Chains A and B, each alone.
Chain A
Amino acid sequence: EAQVTQNPRYLITVTGKKLTVTCSQNMNHEYMSWYRQDPGLGLRQIYYSMNVEVTDKGDVPEGYKVSRKEKRNFPLILESPSPNQTSLYFCASSYTGTGGLEAFFGQGTRLTVV
């Protein structure tokens, strides 16, 4: 079954404690991205990756890092989380064909930073 898997689904952490949210896809997609979803603000792109070892900033990259060492995985790293990073996070992957970047989304990670 084609899917994007995020872990963990729920996470409560304290300010400043480094954390990683993992994302893995089994569709051999080149393109992967991370979003955060906040009430009234919709989905905002944090980082994206066009292929292995190629990443770029989205609209809200501050406070986040990513890496793409292998095609299937695209972890999101928060080196020093702060309460304003409390949000619902989604990973997505796409095949970079013509037309739209039809995205397959993971089920989300709800992060609370206290």
Chain B
Amino acid sequence: TQLLEQSPQFLSIQEGENLTVYCNSSSVFSSLQWYRQEPGEGPVLLVTVVTGGEVKKLKRLTFQFGDARKDSSLHITAAQPGDTGLYLCAGRSGTYKYIFGTGTRLKVLA
């Protein structure tokens, strides 16, 4: 069974700090996505990375796909309270299957 492990599981930081969330697997994925989920809502897509080594930026968020396409990271610069939420990575396995990570719950304190 393919697994995607995220670390850390929980993170509580002060506004303005930087942080990095990791998503690791022993399996290769054809693409990887990051989602953010807020309480009572479904996950919302942030980004998709497809090519090994790819880096994408979304305002203060930087996403990187590992060279071997087995891992990814999400870096947030100068975190804000609005960044609070559950961050999920998801790998595309085969043509139609998704594997989701266990999630990183981030709380940014004002």
- Using a CB–CB cutoff of 8 Å, the interface residues on chain A facing chain B are 4, 31, 33, 35, 40-45, 48, 50, 56, 58-59, 90, 92, 96, 99-108
Contact across chains for B48 and A99 when beta carbons are under 8 A apart: yes
Known: A42-B100, A42-B101, A58-B97. A100 touches B43 (CB 8 A): no
Question: Which of A48, A96, A100 is B48 in contact with, Cβ under 8 Å?
Answer: A100
Question: Which of B49, B96, B102 is A101 in contact with, Cβ under 8 Å?
Answer: B96
Q: Give the A-B contact count at a CB cut-off of 8 A.
A: 65
CB proximity of B29 to chain A, nearest CB, Å: 9
- Give the interface SS of chain A, mostly helix, strand, loop or mixed: strand
Contacts of B11 in A (CB 8 A): none
Cα A82 to Cα B43 in complex, Å, equals: 26
Cα A87 to Cα B30 in complex, Å, equals: 29
Interface size on B, residues (CB 8 A): 24
Known: A48-B97, A99-B48. A59 touches B40 (CB 8 A): no
- Using a CB–CB cutoff of 8 Å, the interface residues on chain B facing chain A are 1, 31-33, 40-45, 48-50, 88, 90, 92, 96-103
Residue of A nearest to B91 (CB): A100
Contacts of A104 in B (CB 8 A): 45
Cα A73 to Cα B45 in complex, Å, equals: 21
Known: A59-B1, A100-B31, A105-B42. A50 touches B102 (CB 8 A): no
Contact across chains for B42 and A99 when beta carbons are under 8 A apart: no
Contacts of A100 in B (CB 8 A): 31-33, 48-50, 92
Residue of A nearest to B101 (CB): A42
CB proximity of B96 to chain A, nearest CB, Å: 6
Contact across chains for B33 and A43 when beta carbons are under 8 A apart: no
